Amino acid sequence: MFSYILRQIDFANFLTLIGLSISFFSAILAMQGNLYASLILMMYAGIIDLFDGFVARRIQRTELQSQVGKQLDSIVDVCSFGFAPAIFAYCFGLRDTLSIIVLIFYIGATALRLAYFNSTGLFKQGSEEYFTGLPVTYAALFIPLTLTSNFVLSGFAMRILVESLYLLLSIAMVANFKMLKLSGVWYMLFPFGALILTSVYSWAIITGR
């Protein structure tokens, strides 16, 4: 039985598990106080989440591997873009009662967003495909991008900014608006942005900022 379960790990599902491992280390680094390194890993977990689906559509898979992949992807997304960012925010300093409520709301919105997507999927208008609400993966871009403000803002201002960001992300995930599914060359926007932010945070780590 155990070996039968392992046979469901094709290349796409293996990538998904790598993303889970990266998110685990992102949370560990945050708890150790290495916040910039944590943000870097958060971004690369997001990149893997973008491309495991791309890979899944281009390889031969059994029906069971495909079904397992859908379930695995959602479970990993809750961990990578729900719990890991919430742990990061807590380690960053969001520890008062209001902040904890916001983070619980954020995790709940992530789970609801993924459950809704599993039930309804994408919807089409013409030749384009759209999500309902903000995909959870975008948290892995917006959070590291917003945290660059830490170089210029005070600690109190940053806590307000980060708390507001998590609240806005939560609302956007469950809001009733359509968002275009990126494809083709647009897939490169996230990796390009991640490379730039990796350079910024690597510089901050090296210089001790």
> Any idea which residue has 């791309």 for tokens?
54
Per-residue pLDDT tens over the stretch 181-208: 877 677 778 888 899 999 999 999 999 8
How far apart CA 86 and CA 107 sit, in angstroms, is 7
Q: What is the pTM of this model?
A: 0.92
**Total domain count, the chain:** 1
CATH number, domain containing residue 84: 1.20.120
Dihedral-angle region of residue 133 (phi above 0 means left; psi in -120 to 50 means alpha; beta otherwise) = left
Per-residue pLDDT tens over the stretch 70-95: 889 999 999 999 999 999 999 999 99
How far apart CA 61 and CA 16 sit, in angstroms, is 15
Residue 179 buriedness (CB in 10 A; 0-12 / 13-18 / 19+)? middle
How high is the pLDDT of residue 10?
87
Domain of residue 96: give its range.
Answer: 2-207
Per-residue pLDDT tens over the stretch 98-119: 999 999 999 999 999 999 988 8
